[in-house]
Amino acid sequence: MGTADRVARAVTPAHRNGRPAGELRGRDPERTRGRILDAATREFARYGLGGARVDRIAASAGANKRMLYYYFGDKDALFQEVLEHAYESIRSAEQELNLLDVDPVGGMARLIAFTWHYYIAHPEFLTLLNSENLHRGRHLRGSRRIRTTNSPLIATLDEILARGARAGTFRPGVDSLQLYISIAGLSYFYLSNNHTLSAVFGRELSGAEARAERLAHMTDVIIGYLTNTGPAPRPLRSE
């Protein structure tokens, strides 16, 4: 494979002006590039980075394989762009949550439900992250696009926690990043490991009813934890 050039050539042709809207005959580099990125997303999500095949991506995109290298450099660089794009999508969706418009409990419930439904609507996000972690974050570490997309969600979460604590409904001293990881993990694990879980425990987990139950449970866990303002039942943090 090799890290290779990673040229990518910053293609955003200046001639995007005078193109007739309906007329999509002939060449259209932007569309070609987009179709390859979409096809690559599907392929990487389904087979992982190691199992993905560039020939299949090209065929699925309806493009010549050479175009993949022309626009993206190599397989790894293509995967990196797919990843970056996936992150930008979820960040963009998070923007529209407006969690501070409602009370702390409501905001928290909304965040949980959003995370849950986003993962369901974008299963590729889960498997792409799994692939990237299998490769030890190699592609993300070399990406500046990711660092700049740094989630403002943590700051919002901080504010919700502060408001809730001030009002006395939430316990104080909660680490917002830990909480975010917990909220994400509750959804992520259930959905990402759906197959092994239902195989091992012999219970249907992907039906609408099971999913509604799961969302209710996760919400109970997080809200129940946050609103438990009494003293810890016992400090056995040993073991």
**Binders of DNA in range 7-36 (CB under 7 A):** 9, 11, 13-15, 18-19, 25-29, 32
Name the minimum Å distance from CB 19 to a copy of itself.
36
Q: From the list 37, 39, 40, 63, which residue makes contact with DNA (rule: CB under 7 A)? A: 63
Site for a copy of itself in 10-39 (CB under 8 A): none
Q: From the list 41, 45, 76, 146, which residue makes contact with DNA (rule: CB under 7 A)? A: 76
Q: Contact, 116 vs 218, CB < 8 A?
A: yes
Q: Considering the complex, state which of residue 76 and residue 81 has its C-beta at the smaller distance from DNA.
A: 76
Q: Does 64 bind DNA (CB under 7 A)?
A: yes
Name the minimum Å distance from CB 217 to a copy of itself.
4
- Per rule CB under 8 A, count of chain residues that contact a copy of itself: 76
Residue 185 binding partner per list DNA, a copy of itself, none, with a CB distance cut-off of 5 to 8 Å that depends on partner kind? a copy of itself
Q: From the list 113, 120, 162, 165, which residue makes contact with a copy of itself (rule: CB under 8 A)? A: 113
Q: Does 203 bind DNA (CB under 7 A)?
A: no
Q: Contact, 176 vs 161, CB < 8 A?
A: yes
Q: Does 133 bind a copy of itself (CB under 8 A)?
A: yes
Secondary structure of the chain in HEC code, one letter for each residue: CCCCCCCCCCCCCHHHCCCCCCCCCCCCHHHHHHHHHHHHHHHHHHHHHHHCCHHHHHHHHCCCHHHHHHHHCCHHHHHHHHHHHHHHHHHHHHHCCCHHHCCHHHHHHHHHHHHHHHHHHCHHHHHHHHHHHHCCCHHHHCCHHHHHCCCCHHHHHHHHHHHHHHHCCCCCCCCHHHHHHHHHHHHHHHHHCHHHHHHHHCCCCCCHHHHHHHHHHHHHHHHHHHCCCCCCCCCCCCC
Q: Does 173 bind DNA (CB under 7 A)?
A: no
Name the minimum Å distance from CB 155 to DNA.
38
Residue appearing with tokens 């879980």: 197
Q: Considering the complex, state which of residue 40 and residue 90 has its C-beta at the smaller distance from DNA.
A: 40
| Distance of alpha carbon 166 from alpha carbon 179, whole angstroms | 18
| Distance of alpha carbon 120 from alpha carbon 117, whole angstroms | 5
The residue type found at 229 is T
Q: Does 79 bind DNA (CB under 7 A)?
A: no
Q: From the list 37, 44, 45, 74, which residue makes contact with DNA (rule: CB under 7 A)? A: 74
Site for a copy of itself in 176-205 (CB under 8 A): 177-179, 181-182, 184-186, 188-190, 192-203
Binding site for DNA (CB under 7 A): 1-2, 4, 9, 11, 13-15, 18-19, 25-29, 32, 52-55, 63-67, 69-70, 74-76
